[in-house]
Amino acid sequence: MPDSIKETKQELRRKYRRAVKAMGEEARREACLEIAERIALLPEYKKALTVMVYSALPDEVDLKPLIGHPSSAGKR
């Protein structure tokens, strides 16, 4: 991967981590729920038999709401 792309990706990560840290707890929770809902609506997610979810660090999107989402029924 070219250095310019790596630098751009690193800067984007820094930018979004700062934005997440600046959000209040309620806003972060709502954003995580919205992201999980959007993922659950993706055709790829709906077709998937197995889905992997990570354990989020404090400045990452918490995908735990996706685990209990109705569209997750029957997935491993």
- The whole-angstrom separation of Cα 45 and Cα 13 is 24
Whole-model pTM: value is: 0.73
d(CA 64, CA 73): 14
Q: Which residue has the tokens 């981590």?
A: 17
- Cα distances (angstroms) measured from residue 2 to each of 5, 8, 9, 11: 5, 10, 11, 14
Number of H helices, E strands in the chain: 4, 0
State pLDDT tens for residues 10-48: 999 899 888 888 999 999 999 999 999 999 999 999 999
In the chain, domain spans: 3-72
pLDDT for the residue 66: 85
* Residues 23, 63: Cα–Cα separation, whole Å: 17
